[in-house]
Structure 1
Amino acid sequence: MACPKVSIVRDLAEVTQFRNGGGRDLTDVTSRAALADYSGNCDYTSDGVTVNVNVFLIAERGPAMQGNTANYRYFVAVAKPGEEAPTTKTEFDTSVTFDAGKLRSGSREELAPKIPLPKDANGKDWKIFLGFQLTPEQLAFNRAQMKQ
């Protein structure tokens, strides 16, 4: 049986974090991160399907960053067949540590959302969405960047 479709939400695939206090140009960026890719498979059992997903996060240190760690929040949402709105959504916190003198770093997040299904049901029409949990300002920034 086929696995549910996994996708990274375009508007929520990146996050740019700025220092507190107003400025929003390149010198005010503390860090940027992107959900760059994913891989995985699924396991069917008598009570549903577990989708094993590895999400690859790439982060970049900004000129305004203090310290060597950046924190991010992302989500996994599950939508039923024929629906775009998720029925469940789980948020996760993660951090990326930058080695001294390095501008980039990354992490691999291992997720395993479970979709309850009747025995012998196929999960191929279910959808799993991945993205950063953004503030309204971060979402507006992403959308403005996409228009350029």
Structure 2
Amino acid sequence: MDRRRDRNIGTPARKSPRALAFASLGVLVLTGCSGLGGGSNTAADAALACPKVSIVRDLAEVTQFRNGGGRDLTDVTSRAALADYSGNCDYTSDGVTVNVNVFLIAERGPAMQGNTANYRYFVAVAKPGEEAPTTKTEFDTSVTFDAGKLRSGSREELAPKIPLPKDANGKDWKIFLGFQLTPEQLAFNRAQMKQ
């Protein structure tokens, strides 16, 4: 098997000050999380770079409200953000697998009942030169809040595979990460970004 490894999967998308402030709340959750890793060791590995990974700005956060309630701070059940990612990629004779660890942080809201919040996020892959994804896979995850704790988080391990001919370079492919939002949640995010 022709296997090559490149630890650089691109750089995280630039985060808004609001997202950074929210992400800083979960800094303890992410303690010990490594960066994107070092560069390649050989010229062959350097030639086969990893696809660009990014968190979609409008879809990087989700705010959940209680059913039938209003939409102010007292109605929030939980908030979550895709705060960061790290990873690498593996080339084989039939393509490239991108190994991505996505760090999700969550905050309990005043209207939350119980101690678990559920979220849905996606991984989408776009061909070189295209913005519309050719494939999209959705995942469900949950975050449990310990008693008396307002914040928690999880690390989601993903491994999307892009089929490529032998020795083809995946560097121009794109991988997008984001929450799967309802139209109302997306509108809420966009309204918050304008403030």
Return the alpha-carbon distance in structure 1 between the equivalents of residues 94 and 137 of structure 2: 20
Question: Residues 44-123 of structure 1 correspond to what in structure 2 (within 5 A)?
Answer: 44-123=91-170
RMSD across aligned positions (CA): 0.3
Report deviation, 1:147: 0.0
| Rg (Cα) greater in structure | 2
Deviations 1:9-41, CA, capped at 9 Å, x for gaps? 000000000000030000000000000000000
Any idea what the Cα deviations from partners look like across 1:93-127, whole Å, max 9, x if unmatched? Answer: 00000000000000000000000000000000000
Report runs of 4+ in structure 1 exceeding 4 Å deviation. none
Shift of 1:143: 0.0
Structure 1 residue matching 2:142: 3-state secondary structure: strand
| Structure 2 runs not aligned, ≥5 long | 1-47
How many angstroms apart in 1 are the aligned matches of 2:159 and 2:72? Answer: 37
Taking the aligned partners of 2:127 and 2:86, their CA distance within structure 1 comes to: 21
| SS across alignment from 2:130 | coil
Q: Please list the CA deviations of residues 67-87 of structure 1 after superposition, one character each: whole Å capped at 9, or x if unmatched.
A: 000000000000000000000
In 2, Cα distance between equivalents of 1:53 and 1:22: 37
- Taking structure 2 as the reference length, the TM-score comes to 0.76
Q: Does 1:25 align with 2:72?
A: yes
Bigger proportion of residues as strand: 1
For structure 1, the 5+ residue unaligned runs are: none
Instruction: Report 1:35-46 matches (<5 A).
Output: 35-46=82-93
* Equivalent residues, number: 148
Matching residue within 137, 141, 146 for 2:188: 141
For 2:147 and 2:166, the matched residues in 1 are separated by: 52
SS in 1 for 2:74: helix
| Counterpart Cα distance in 1 of 2:126 and 2:150 | 36
Provide the secondary structure at the position in 2 that maps to 1:33.
Answer: strand
